[in-house]
Amino acid sequence: MMIVMKPGASAEEIDHVIDRIVSVGARAHVSKGDEVTLIGAIGDREHVQRLELEGVAGVAQVVPILKPYKLSSAQMGGGERSVFEIGGRRIGGEHFAMIAGPCTVESREQVLETAEAVKNAGAAMFRGGAYKPRTSPYAFQGLGQAGLRLLAEAKEIHGMPIVTELMDVRDLDAVLEVADVVQIGARNMQNYTLLSEIGRSGCPVLLKRGLSATLEELLMAAEYILKEGNEKVMLCERGIRTFETAYRFTLDLMAVPVLRQLSHLPVVVDPSHAAGRRDLVLPLSLAAAAAGADGIIVEVHPNPEEAICDGPQALRADEFADYAAAVERAAAVAGKAFTHA
Ligand code: PEP
Ligand code: MN
């Protein structure tokens, strides 16, 4: 249930409603807008209904949230889009974030060179994996802690917020020391204990859609994080499995406007993993930005031919500025501007 408070509701009236919700074993999730305060009562619907909050002082309306996901629902956003500030960069609303960097951290030179190139071209955040989810257990699994240290150095030198993947809860503390955004990869979208743990950490999350996950399953996964009190969840469409074999995955661009209808959370698109091929990355990025995505996460490498992982889909670092400028123009079509430091 969602309790919509009257525009001038006092702090005491809001606290009273929260106390009543908590008294029946439900959680109260408060979202203070410019005009009104919304209180999500998350728990047993019948218990909350029995409180008859409609008649309580300061309450304008009690609305059932019909979707199985509550905190991530558009209704919970009260009709407004969430805007997150991460290391001085904004994402959501009118703010478009370009997140760029290599698939995996390979060496100091590779990380620093890529970070410099993407920063100079207007990227808002730097991506790079130290822990890599590889299909083959024999493939390079990432540099681990040594990789995290290189990301920390890139952040120190270039001042960009870091987006990096967490696969195992045992690495949480090490990842949190460096990450400004923790990426939960497609293969872990339904790793519920990992989601709850990252929810408790409070660190912003980029949650990738599973290879065969529905949008409702994605939003339910986001709910696991939000439920722990972590409000900063970005949803990421990265291509899904379909019958088509002409490309690696099918980028579900319809997910962009539909997720923006269903949820207040920012929507990011990953064209690199969907395509698996460099030549498709620009057209997919333009389409995503024009469709209203709040950001793009894209792979870039100084020398893709020598990349340890995902080289064929990586944009060349020296071509990244032209790419970013084109995406910036497409984002403008959807009324969004690139966010910078
Ligand atoms: C990645 O971002 O490098 C990655 C492995 O992505 P995904 O989880 O979407 O496959
Ligand atoms: Mn990759």
* Cα 205 to ligand 1 centroid, rounded to whole Å: 14
Measure 314 CA to ligand 1 centroid, in angstroms: 13
pLDDT at 255: 98
Q: How confident is the model at residue 269 (pLDDT cuts 50, 70, 90)?
A: very high
pLDDT of 163 > 80? The answer is yes
pLDDT at 36: 87
- State both tokens at 26: 């439900």
pLDDT of residue 9: 93
CB of 265 closer than 8 Å to CB of 218: no
Residue 114 pLDDT greater than 80, yes or no: yes
pLDDT score, position 298: 98
Across 185-216, b (16+ Cβ under 10 Å) vs e yields bbebbbbeebbbbbbebebbbbbbbbeebebe
| Mean pLDDT on 271-279 | 97
The percentage of residues in the chain with a pLDDT greater than 70, rounded to a whole number, is 100
**In the predicted structure, residue 341 carries a pLDDT above the cut 80:** no
Q: Per residue in 298-328, pLDDT tens?
A: 999 999 999 999 999 999 999 999 999 999 9
- What pLDDT, in 10s, does the model give residues 149-160? 999 999 999 999
Q: What pLDDT sits at residue 308?
A: 96
pLDDT at 164 over 90: yes
Nearest-CA residue for atom 10 of ligand 1: 186
Continuous segment of H or E residues that includes residue 59: strand 59-63
Residue-wise pLDDT tens digits, 5-30: 999 899 999 999 999 999 999 999 89
In the numeric block, which tokens belong to residue 215?
């949008």
Q: What is the rounded average pLDDT of the residues 245-266?
A: 97
Distance CA 43, CA 56 (A): 19
pLDDT score for 264: 96
Q: How far apart are the first and last CA of the chain?
A: 38
Give the pocket of ligand 1 (CB within 6 Å). 103, 129, 133, 185-187, 208, 238, 270, 273
C-alpha 207 – ligand 1 centre gap (Å) = 10
Q: Are 269 and 74 within 8 A, CB to CB?
A: no
CA of 227 to the centre of ligand 2 (A): 29
